[in-house]
Structure 1
Amino acid sequence: MRLIGILGGYACLGLSFLIVFEILARKLFNFSLQGVDEIGGYVVAVAGTFGMALAAVERAHTRIDVLLLRLPFKMQAALNLLAYVALGLGAAFMAYMSWQTLSESLLFNSVSSSPLQTPLWIPQSLWVAGLVVFAIAALWSACRGVFALRNGLEAASRALAPPSIAEEIEEARK
């Protein structure tokens, strides 16, 4: 899963270089590559969906810790589990709707309305794949939390709660 994050980072880095080249080419040589903004949208959409999957597995999704940490431990465990179930169901719904979008693009042989005329099934397939992986990762995390809950609240907290400062420091040392 970490490899997906690394690939997404390199894709965003490559996009940054492409944008810088586009800006310099326009300013200095009055030349444009045409479609860099379109490619950028595809890269962000695909990297974002796979990034959300990585965040689900690593318990890195944003939560309101100020409120959460003030609640009783049992309530924290229940809310963390509820958060992952809601995240997984929301991701599954997004994956389903993205599949509907991809199906229509395939049915009508849709292409982008830019100079690139990109067949939309290509970026949409990657987008759907990312959303499916995100849904699976979030639902798997919820299941992992349910299984951990059988071993007690401490195990459920380790499986579902946001990483503590100590865990983040330990991860940074690796």
Structure 2
Amino acid sequence: MEKLKESVVERACRLACFAALVVMLVVIGVDIVTRGLFNFSFEISDELGGYMLVVTSFVSLSICQINNSFHHVELVQSRLSPFGRAVSHVIFDLLSLAFCALLLWQLVRFEITSYRFGDHAPTYLATPLWIPQAVMALGAAALCFSVLRTLAAKVAVLRTIIAKTGDARES
């Protein structure tokens, strides 16, 4: 299957990942400089770096999906006919979508619970925990969107294969 063009969602995710990496580099760089030169630390680089790692991890999933960057079992796929390969892709994406929807549901519940109870990180910044949890839910929602897009593309490929084999049978 050819690579899909990035939508607004995937471009926003790519920009968020880029921004998270820049923030992480700046915060850690400033902390290194202040520790080395002034023997002083803001004591927030670990926390902010962790949050930026969460952003990068969850938000990049949709970009990986749309660019077909996840692992595949080529040993099995290479032995299937084009029709079998297309069917297995559709089934795999349907299962992936079900898992992603379940993950999104649980992350939203988790975030709502944290917001309702006013949970804060036990750190110097005392960040409300619903903020990084919201990023996790947004990343899962973007992944659901991207899986839906790739699923639609793979269903179109399957239909094309069915139409071609149907035309061959009619001849």
Residue number in structure 2 paired with 1:2: 11
- Pairing partner for 2:135 from 111, 120, 126: 126
The one-letter code sitting in structure 1 at the alignment partner of 2:89 is N
Which runs of 5 or more structure 1 residues have no equivalent in the other structure? Answer: 156-174
- Pairing partner for 2:32 from 23, 32, 40: 23
Which runs of 5 or more structure 2 residues have no equivalent in the other structure? Answer: 1-9, 165-171
Matched pairs, number: 155
Question: 1:154–1:66: structure 2 CA closer, same or farther, 3 Å change rule?
Answer: farther
Distance 2:139 2:112 in 1: 16
- Pairing partner for 1:101 from 104, 110, 118: 110
Residue 118 of structure 1 and its aligned partner are, at CA, apart by: 0.5
Distance 1:44 1:88 in 2: 24
TM-score by length of 1: 0.77
The one-letter code sitting in structure 2 at the alignment partner of 1:145 is K
The one-letter code sitting in structure 1 at the alignment partner of 2:141 is V
Correspondence list, 1:73-152, <5 A: 73-152=82-161
Residue 121 of structure 1 and its aligned partner are, at CA, apart by: 1.8
Structure 1 stretch 60-69 or stretch 11-20: which is displaced more? 60-69
Distance 2:34 2:57 in 1: 28
Query: Relative contact order (alpha carbons < 8 A, sep ≥ 6): 1 or 2 greater?
Result: 2
Larger radius of gyration: 2
Residue 3 of structure 1 and its aligned partner are, at CA, apart by: 4.1
Residue 70 of structure 1 and its aligned partner are, at CA, apart by: 3.6
Distance 2:144 2:37 in 1: 45
Backbone CA RMSD of aligned residues:
2.3
Distance 2:12 2:114 in 1: 29
Residue 142 of structure 1 and its aligned partner are, at CA, apart by: 1.4
**Among the aligned pairs, what percent are the same residue?**
23
Question: 1:66–1:21: structure 2 CA closer, same or farther, 3 Å change rule?
Answer: farther
